[in-house]
């Protein structure tokens, strides 16, 4: 059967990666979390001390250092899922904390960062057979993706999910801080000049505020089957 590209875009913390991972595992496709790539570059910038106390970034310095940044994925043998690596070091845990979350939007708004990561993402899809989640996959990275989904949920539901996720990993967090961070990122992601978050005209809209993980997984599997049956 011909393989396709599934592009899953949407707001932060609305379960995009859970549904993308599940689908990829079920149908034997590669899963790529592009948010993890922007987070890895942000971690690099934090480690280099490129942020001022007010959160501003020294973009010129980051641009000079970009050739030294390699973001890659390594398969976790236990789970079969990709782990993000920064210059060969697995940084999966470091990129999920609130510090990286609080600094990632300005990094993701930089054109030279987007260009470098977009090029890498497009190379990953050359053979198709890919489920990729992010903000601009259906609009910029793969405008020709065969199946596009735009996922959203209320900010409060998303903050609660992120809080529960961090708590389950034993990482301390404050719900109000997380809600503020979710709202701020929505605003910056949707209003930036380059590749702003928006629904592609041919994307299916999924508001999962009231859906369980199992329901959303089943919904996506149905859409995938419809699409691939159509093409068979
Ligand atoms: O999905 P996430 O929360 O891990 O993404 C982290 C940040 O990266 C988010 O604020 C938006 C940005 N991002 C982006 O601009 N483009 C993508 N394709 C993926 C993520």
Tell me whether residue 231 is in a domain.
Answer: no
CB of 11 closer than 8 Å to CB of 151? yes
Q: Which residue range is the domain that position 173 belongs to?
A: 5-226
Taking CA atoms only, the protein residue closest to ligand 1 atom 8 is 35
Tell me whether residue 232 is in a domain.
Answer: no
How many domains, the chain? Answer: 1
pLDDT of residue 4: 97
pLDDT of residue 160: 93
Distance CA 13, CA 229 (A): 30
Atom of ligand 1 minimally distant from the CA of 12: 3
Q: Phi and psi of 70, rounded to 5°?
A: -120, 120
Tell me whether residue 112 is in a domain.
Answer: yes
From the CB of 135, is ligand 1 less than 6 Å away? yes
From the CB of 21, is ligand 1 less than 6 Å away? no
Tell me whether residue 164 is in a domain.
Answer: yes
pLDDT of residue 71: 95
From the CB of 206, is ligand 1 less than 6 Å away? no
Tell me whether residue 124 is in a domain.
Answer: yes
**The tokens 């993706």 sit on which residue?**
145
From the CB of 185, is ligand 1 less than 6 Å away? yes
CATH code assigned at 158: 3.40.50.300
Taking CA atoms only, the protein residue closest to ligand 1 atom 3 is 12
pLDDT of residue 127: 92
pLDDT of residue 185: 85
Taking CA atoms only, the protein residue closest to ligand 1 atom 20 is 35
Tell me whether residue 152 is in a domain.
Answer: yes
Mean pLDDT of successive 10-residue stretches along the chain, which has 232 residues: 94 89 95 96 98 93 96 90 94 92 91 96 95 96 98 94 88 90 89 91 94 93 94 78
Distance CA 38, CA 29 (A): 22
SS3 state at 129? coil
From the CB of 12, is ligand 1 less than 6 Å away? yes
pLDDT of residue 230: 82
Tell me whether residue 190 is in a domain.
Answer: yes
pLDDT of residue 69: 95
CB of 23 closer than 8 Å to CB of 29? yes
pTM, entire model: 0.91
Taking CA atoms only, the protein residue closest to ligand 1 atom 4 is 35
């Amino acid at each position: 059967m011909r393989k396709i590209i599934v592009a899953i875009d949407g707001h932060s913390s609305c379960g995009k990666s859970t549904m993308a991972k599940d689908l990829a595992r079920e149908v034997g496709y590669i899963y790529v979390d592009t948010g993890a790539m922007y987070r890895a570059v942000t971690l690099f910038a934090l480690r280099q001390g490129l942020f001022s106390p007010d959160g501003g970034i020294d973009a010129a310095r980051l641009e000079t250092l970009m050739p030294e940044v390699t973001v890659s994925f390594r398969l976790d043998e236990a789970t079969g899922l990709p782990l993000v690596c920064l210059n060969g070091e697995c940084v999966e845990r470091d990129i999920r904390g609130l510090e990286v979350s609080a600094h990632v939007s300005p990094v993701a708004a930089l054109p030279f960062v987007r260009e470098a990561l977009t090029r890498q993402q497009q190379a990953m899809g050359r053979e198709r057979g890919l489920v990729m989640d992010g903000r601009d996959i259906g609009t910029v990275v793969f405008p020709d993706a065969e199946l596009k989904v735009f996922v959203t949920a209320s900010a409060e539901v998303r903050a609660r999910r992120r809080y529960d996720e961090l708590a389950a990993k034993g990482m301390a967090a404050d719900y109000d801080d997380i809600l503020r961070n979710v709202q701020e990122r929505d605003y910056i992601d949707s209003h930036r000049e380059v590749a702003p978050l928006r629904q592609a005209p041919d994307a299916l809209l999924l508001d999962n505020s009231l859906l369980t993980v199992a329901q959303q997984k089943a919904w996506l599997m149905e859409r995938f089957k419809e699409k691939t049956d159509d093409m068979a």
